[in-house]
Structure 1
Amino acid sequence: MTIYSVYDQVADLLATLDPAKVLSMKASADMQIRFEELAEKSADDKLTKAEKDELDHYIVLERLMRLAKIRAQSGRVVS
């Protein structure tokens, strides 16, 4: 099992929820602001290791939610 198959399993689980709820999920305003701060610091190459780790987590979660939304929208859940 790879980390990608774990992501697929979590995305599938999320996609089984009410599709409208999945499609309406979004980051809070505070999370969005923090992500933008980290992305800007990253572009300027000024992230600390802890900030890089935090940004990486935001990116993984964003990709996971995007995958879940695609699956919820299409009604497709991979088994």
Structure 2
Amino acid sequence: MIKAYTEIVDFIASGTTPEAVACFTASAEAKNRVAELISREKRSELSSDERTELDHYIEVEHIMRLAKAKARKIVGT
């Protein structure tokens, strides 16, 4: 299984433009995985690896939100 945050990391690593950053959205698969992890967290059912995965996703998502805000300023949207 691909970690939920991997596609964001791959997106950044592949090189991009401010426009692409501003428009980036996670795939349905990644969104579903994060929703599953959050649901399991609420029921106290996360393994330590899943907790780490969710924590990494939250960190990377925060960075993407900051990058998207900066990119929107650059492209003027």
- The amino acid that maps onto 2:52 is D
Note the aligned Cα RMSD (angstroms): 1.8
Residue 29 of structure 1 deviates from its aligned partner by 1.0
Larger RCO, structures 1/2 (Cα 8 Å, 6+ apart): 1
- Residues of 2 paired with 1:40 and 1:61: CA distance? 19
Q: Deviations over 1:7-64 (max 9, x none)?
A: xxxxxx8xxx533211111111111100000011111111110000010111111101
* Count of aligned residue pairs for this structure pair: 61
Q: Write out the 4+ residue segments of structure 1 that deviate beyond 6 Å after TM superposition.
A: none
- Residues of 1 paired with 2:46 and 2:17: CA distance? 38
Tell me the TM-score normalized by structure 2.
0.70
Q: Which runs of 5+ in 1 are unaligned?
A: 1-12
- Residues of 2 paired with 1:73 and 1:24: CA distance? 9
Structure having the higher Rg: 1
